[in-house]
Structure 1
Amino acid sequence: MQELIRFNSENNMFTLSNNHITYIMEIVEHSYLVHRYWGKKLAGYHFSNRPLLNKRTFAATPNNEKPEISPEFLPFELPFSHQGDYRSSAIQIQQENADEITRFCYKSYEIQNGVIELTDLPHARNTDEQAQTLIIYLYDQIAEIELALYYTIFEDSPVIVRSSRVKNVGTQSLKVTKLLSASIDTRYDQQLATTFYGTHQKEFQLNRSKIQHGLFKIGSSRGASGPQYPPFIALSKDANEFQGEVYAITLIYSGNHEIALERDQYNHLRIQIGLNSETFSWRLEAGETFYSPQALLSYSDQGFNGSSQSFHQFFTNHLIHPAWKSKDRPILINSWEMTYYDVNDKLIRKLIDAASDLGFETVVLDDGWYGQRNSSKTSLGDWSVDTEKFPEGIKPLVDYAKQKNVGFGIWFEPEMISPNTELIQKHPDWVMRSKNYEPLLGRSQYVLDLTNVDVQEFIIITLLKAITEWGVNYIKWDMNRHMTDPFSQSQTFESSEYSHRYMIGFYRIVNELTNAYPEVLFENCSSGGGRLDPGMLFYFPQTWISDNTDGLDRQQIQYGASYLFPISSITGHVSDVPNHQTNRVVSFKTRAALASSTNMGYEMDIIQMSNEEKKSIRKHLKDYKQERALIMKGTFYRLHSPFESNTCVWMFANKKQAIIYVFRNVYQVYDLSLLIKIPALDSQSLYQEQRTKQVYSGSELANCGLALENTKGDIIVQKINLKKLEE
């Protein structure tokens, strides 16, 4: 077994290293655990970058004989408050006497083979790939608190997994008011910070900015990771898509989170990620423990494409359920934009007939099939089939689809409840709400209290019925509002624990369902990408990335999401025009190309269309099936950013073939032609473009580029299909 983690007792140094990266820590003054290096693999390390410290006025000094050793200067692995380190802390604990001072000192370490599996939270999975985990124990002797820091490194991945655990080893209760998953201290060196912002129908918008002095902080307090500021930050200096160093961090968690970036007066940088400390606390009685979610730290010396590919490989190998990590996802037709709430048995049977005829693999019955659901104002929680719309129920439709060799899926929004439902009359205490105030409605619905085990069981039983009695093989799990009243009517814990306990309840539900029925495909949706994060990917192999299917907006949304998520985890549909979200008219060719760059499906009326339109769809589905393995399992490259130019270009490639989609948006008369450089191919090989049959060298395409016709019109696409010629 390869030694991935080493401890040198002579210089008190921990080294985590594989063929890609090295991560180094040092124990200073037999007490402090400090950060020394994270980056490209080192052949050896002898503290060459260790700062030469000097005494500074106002700096607190635990040892008066060594005034240069101050927490104000030390690059801590997990900094804590009230020790002379005035930067953002990563842990805060309040003792029973209200004392908030803790002083953790290094105690011991251990090295384990494999990964740490968290009982209540999604986590990096064990696979055949060798991994080792370092556990470093810090201890506060007075408060009687043990702090364990976890570091997992894999044999062939540039990703390190970090998390923390607090254990109350004393006799009095404690309250953890802050516990982050990772904190990194480094030097400011003109780096830029890359994060994402967004909103419903405009997710994953790229934000790249200079780092000023002071504290920059983003996150979510919505009870979900949210489209506003998803859990991701990257630091880079001179990096582009293909060159330069990128240090990227994300969080395997789907609830309230925070990301902090602080540049202090000495040009130290502190990057942190974890639970949102403004909406979190956790009481620990004697002997109890609390684990933070896991953070992922990725290093790339091959630009942002290299960083993304590291995350793509890691998510595929260590997050996505093994049953789906290499399995083809079905091409589906969803009823939503075709019918909205106006669904019925006769119409869905026609949809199944059309889907089977055209080559679709699954039909999805979206919202409107239950209760009296004719609008967004009713019936959530009353999951009985609307017998006026479906007199025979859902199972005959599933059976009919099977006869047509088509799978059948169904939509749920399990976490929500509508007013004036039977469920709310039977169980008013199941609603998330304060005891003192009327709860606020969002999208005409309340949120169920998932901290209540009875609610969890109700959701599990409801979805099991669809799987075991009706036989559906696909469930679209939606969530269309965020928390406003995060309190439980029936539970007794403190209100500041609520949002995290909600996530633990949610994870328990989806964990039981997906483990019991791994063959059923669960798709994550939250009005699109409202809860798209690595934590959700642990249970949901794919996510409906945005309700916005517009051919222009989708370029930025899909481009941004690819910074983190593999293409196999992103779903995109061809929808009708004028687009239902923007009223924009974009050609079928462009809309099909965008959907083909994801887990592809459709969302339009395929029953009433003309024979010519059906012919185009048949060809699209046939082509996609032939190319699906390359798109889902090939390496994805971003070539031109829609955030920076009039073009958006990306590529799917393996050793034998490459498909490039070139989206050119606004036609400019002065652009006589387009020129697209195509790097990342084999520079010593020849490639034939399949439409023109022209042959080019890989080095020629990378350095000279490929000239394309600048066709008149806006939002057009050109597809380049290159196949490597045998030598």
Structure 2
Amino acid sequence: MIRRKGNVYKLDTPATTLLLGAGGEQLYYGGRLAVGGCDYEFLRDESEEDALRPFSAFGGEGPFGISCVLEGRAFFPRFVFRRAGLADKPALSPLPCSYSESEEKNACQTLCFEFTDEPSKLKLFVYYTVFDDSDAIVLSSRLVNGGKKEISVNRPASLQLDVFGDGYGFVSFSDGFFERKTQTPVPVGATLVKETSAGFGAPFCDSFALLERPSRVYAAGLLYSGNARLAASADVYPRTRLRIGVNGAARETLASGEGLSSPEALMTFAEDEDSVRATVGAFFARHLLRGKWKDRERPALFFGENAAEGETLTKKIELAEGEALSEKMKFAAREALTKKIELAARSGAEIFVLDADVFAEREETEAEIAALVREKGMRFGVRLRPRTAPSSGGILEKRPEFALRGRNREIFGADGRTLLDFADERVQKYAVRALSALLSETKAVYMKWENEPSETEPSAQGACEGDPFRYAEGLYAVAEKLAERFPSLRTEGVADCGENGFFDFFLASGEGEPEKKFAFYKKYRKLLVRGTRYRLKDFSGRECGDIFVSENRFSAVAIVRGRETPRFTGREGISLRGLDAGTVYAVSVRKEGLFDETRRLTAAGELLMKGRIPLEKIAGEETFILLLEKAKRGKNV
């Protein structure tokens, strides 16, 4: 996968090639170059200023964005290439770190470039890692103080991707890499920035982005959820740059010999957006997810909270602050919860999930509820908001210093809850103890980390006193410790990179009849989880759904969202994607929530992909599900 010919390194993935000069300059990144015997060095620019380097300075932000302070003097280091070669992949615990399970010798290879700033003796290491089964390339960087004196530095960016040419659109996302997106042309001489200073999981700023123009799509993003900065710029050369890394001006002081690493990032190339989405999704499934549940379909979950009402059972029966729940209300609450558990069992749910506030004053009834759930033939799970605690009562009444505070000592929170300071090791240890106790008492097999409302974020309320990166690192440390203690626990989160669209949650948790809902999900979940996902657009180019296609292309599930199409009139039309043109499909149209068949038709893949299907025939202003199966022989078409 990584070969050297003369002064050029060739990094091959199944469908892409990256050519790097011996000094780290990028000579080519695009579709796979399969023909050997080429002299790649002729691609090198004669001028050093024109070369595409992993830390080149065009755009005015300084080399790799690194600013340093040595003996009171601020400067931007001028890194000079020193050496390159294969190296071990760096471990970045507790941050998310990609890996390979293959026992093949060269299933995963890492190339390291070392650069040095001679005056300060500061060393920069840039790592490129390739896998034999993925078109994603993973990058990270590390700064090391090779001098004898202390030096203050900013954390380096994780990835800097330069491409020749302009006219690219900068595509950023909200609510996950597969959700809402914004595309803006990258103007020459300017920099477009999308950033968050939140410590973890900012839904309004996903840490993935695209550089996109016809037949050329580059995707890049952090394998980290937290304070992120994405910047796109272009110059008159013309060149376009995408730089991604941790946001924040907090400096780190490095003593002699100490180092500082950036979180991992990945990049990939394809001719269209669907292909890069598929690459990223497959990479997460193979090289980032771990544990017992890695290769299994998502179980059918029944949440004790009614997501449509937006209220937990506890909130429904809560009295005014300072009053206690009467025995009668406690009994009514238990009766209501028991009925929900029985409904979940009748409906075919596999895991019953209860909201739990582990940092509040607990009555320790979760273990009793878990036992009842298991009696009904299901397993037990919990949904948590682990980043906050009740503002009154609970742990913050005993340990008020655990609250996250701003520079003016104000606390951050909303809706009666306060953010905990996970940069504090004492908070991390307390969270691990409390969560471990809950998971052990209830024998939970599933845990979901719920995100907090955006109004609780420090970025929404003012500057945080500490470093948001340390806050995120502390949360990862808690998650890592729980994974070690509970290796069979299935965990899910909703922070940006954590939700990469392997499944559509609404299919098993929206409104409708539970029995039909869970039966439908169990039947088609393998396709929804493992199938290739394509975006559906109407003939005006507006996204209006998705289709999941099996590997042999004999079956598919399409979700068409008429009500989400802007300025919907009912006259729009769509064409399906990813099907086999020569296969005749039996198509069943069903309304989401009811799952009753409303229409049935037979059509060849070529007609469904080339023809215009009027949305008014299948969706109207509702969301409809189209089930496609290869038609049996003898069907009249």
Does the TM-score normalized on the shorter chain lie above 0.5?
yes
Which residue of structure 1 lines up, in the alignment, with residue 469 of structure 2? 500
Question: When the two structures are aligned, how many residues end up with a matched partner?
Answer: 590
How much does 1:661 deviate?
Answer: 2.6
Tell whether 2:349 aligns with 1:414: no
1:118 aligned partner: 92
Look up the equivalent residue of 1:426 and give its one-letter code.
K
Post-superposition offset of 1:326: 1.8
Could you say which residue in structure 2 is the equivalent of 1:432?
A: 404
**Residue 697 to residue 712, structure 1, CA distance change in 2 (3 Å):** closer
Match of 1:6 among 3, 7, 31: 3
Q: 1:384 aligns with which of 362, 370, 377?
A: 362
Counterpart in 1 of 2:268? 298
Pair 92,398 (structure 1): closer, same or farther in 2 beyond 3 Å: same
Cα-to-partner distance string for 1:81-127 (whole Å, 9 max, x where unaligned): xxx874553122222342414222111122146x4332231011222
Map 1:62-77 to 2 at 5 A. Answer: 69=47, 71=49, 73-77=50-54
Matched, 1:332 2:332: no
Cα distance in 2 for residues equivalent to 1:134 and 1:247? 21
Contact 1:687 1:696 (C-alpha < 8 Å) held by counterparts: yes
Pair 1:459–1:147, CA change in 2 (3 A): same
The answer to whether the Cα contact below 8 Å between 1:642 and 1:648 also exists between their aligned partners in 2 is no
Range that drifts further, 117-126 or 715-724? 715-724
| Within-5 A mapping of 1:589-604 | 595-596=506-507, 600-602=508-510
**How far 1:383 moved relative to its partner?**
4.4
Residue 624 of structure 2 corresponds to residue 717 of structure 1: yes
Residue aligning to 2:278: 309
CA distance in 1: counterparts of 2:201 and 2:250, whole angstroms: 14
Task: Give the match's secondary structure for 2:231.
Answer: strand
Counterpart contact for 1:345–1:397, Cα < 8 Å: no
**Could you say which residue in structure 2 is the equivalent of 1:356?**
345
Q: Which moved more, 1:142-151 or 1:634-643?
A: 634-643
**Matched letter for residue 159 of structure 2:** A
- Superposition map of 1:162-201 within 5 A: 162-197=139-174
Deviations 1:661-688 (A, max 9, x none): 333338999967x754233222343333
Counterpart Cα distance in 1 of 2:220 and 2:180: 17
Aligned to 2:496: 532
| Structure-2 separation of matches of 1:636 and 1:285 | 48
Counterpart of 1:222 (choices 198, 203, 206) is: 198
Change (3 A) 1:679 1:435: closer
Structure 2: distance between partners of 1:434 and 1:696: 61
SS of match in other structure, 1:279: coil
Aligned counterpart, 1:38: 29
Return the alpha-carbon distance in structure 2 between the equivalents of residues 190 and 670 of structure 1.
33
After superposition, the Cα gap between the structure-2 partners of 1:463 and 1:670, relative to the gap in structure 1 and judged at 3 Å, is closer
1: CA distance between counterparts of 2:235 and 2:406?
40
Q: Partner amino acid for 2:518?
A: L
Query: What is aligned with 1:260?
Result: 231
Q: Which structure 2 segments of 5+ residues have no match? A: 318-332, 590-598
Task: Report what 1:390 is aligned to.
Answer: none
Give the TM-score taking structure 2 as reference length.
Answer: 0.85
Counting only pairs closer than 5 Å after superposition, residues 489-568 of structure 1 correspond to structure 2 as 495=466, 498-525=467-494, 531-533=495-497, 537=498, 543=499, 565-568=500-503
Aligned match of 2:322: none
**Cross-structure match for 1:211:** 186
Cα drift, residue 219 of structure 1: 1.1
- Look up the SS of the partner of 2:447 in the other structure: strand
- Describe the shift of the 1:513–1:638 C-alpha distance in structure 2 as closer, same or farther (beyond 3 A): same
Partner SS state of residue 33, structure 1:
coil
Mapped partners of 2:300, 2:11: distance in 1: 42
1:443 aligned partner:
415
Q: CA deviation at 1:273?
A: 0.4
1:256–1:279: 8 Å Cα contact kept in structure 2?
A: no
Q: Distance in 2 between matches of 1:643 and 1:318?
A: 37
Partner of 2:18: 23
Q: How far has the Cα of 1:424 moved from its partner? A: 2.4
Residue identity in the other structure for 1:418:
P
Deviations 1:49-84 (A, max 9, x none): 444x6xxxxxxxxxxxxxxx454x33221236xxx8
Q: Deviation digits for residues 576-626 of structure 1, max 9, x if unmatched?
A: xxxxxxxxxxxxxxxxxxx22xxx225x6xxxxxxxx7xx43223212211
- Structure 1: give runs of 5+ residues left out of the alignment: 54-68, 239-243, 371-379, 387-392, 489-494, 526-530, 538-542, 544-564, 573-594, 605-612
* Structure-2 change in CA distance of 1:646 and 1:122 (3 Å): closer
- Is 2:78 the counterpart of 1:103? yes
Please tell me the root mean square deviation across aligned C-alpha atoms, in Å: 3.1
Distance 2:567 2:409 in 1: 57
SS at match of 1:381: coil
The yes-or-no answer on 1:697 pairing with 2:604 is: yes
Distance in 2, Cα, partners of 1:208 & 1:105: 36
Q: 2:545 aligns with which of 643, 648, 652?
A: 648
Which amino acid is 1:138 matched to?
F
CA distance change for structure 1 residues 718 and 667 in 2, over 3 Å: closer, same or farther? farther
2:242 is equivalent to residue 245 of structure 1: no
Task: Give yes or no for contact 1:117–1:125 (8 Å, CA) kept in 2.
Answer: no
1:470 and 2:435 are equivalent in the alignment? no
5 Å-filtered alignment, 1:586-665, equals 595-596=506-507, 600-602=508-510, 616-640=513-537, 644-645=541-542, 647-655=544-552, 656-665=554-563
In 1, Cα distance between the equivalents of 2:397 and 2:15? 58
TM-score normalised per structure 1? 0.75
Aligned to 2:336: 347
Deviation per CA, 1:599-654, whole angstroms, max 9, x where unpaired?
x225x6xxxxxxxx7xx432232122111111111111112269943843533333
> Matches of 1:101 and 1:647 in 2, distance apart?
47
* Aligned equivalents of 2:566, 2:469: Cα separation in 1: 49
Q: Distance in 1 between matches of 2:192 and 2:442?
A: 50
Cα distance, 1:718 vs structure 2: 4.8
**Residues 304, 482 of structure 1: alpha-carbon distance in 2 compared, 3 angstrom cutoff:** same
Matched, 1:284 2:284: no
Q: Distance in 1 between matches of 2:131 and 2:265?
A: 14
The question of whether the paired residues in 1 share the 8 Å contact of 2:220 and 2:267 is answered with yes
Aligned pairs (5 A) from 1:131-150: 131-150=108-127
Q: Give the 3 Å change call, closer, same or farther, for CA 96–305 of structure 1 in structure 2.
A: same
SS at 1:336 equivalent: coil
Is contact 1:220–1:229 with CA below 8 Å preserved after alignment? yes
Give the match for residue 329 of structure 2: none
Contact 1:657–1:724 (8 Å) recurs in 2: no
Distance 1:711 1:503, change over 3 A: closer
CA contact (8 A) 1:219 1:259 kept: yes
> What SS does the aligned partner of 1:217 have?
strand
1:666-705 matches, cutoff 5 A = 675-689=573-587, 695-704=602-611
Contact 1:363–1:407 (CA under 8 A) maintained in structure 2: yes
Distance 1:118 1:467 in 2: 27
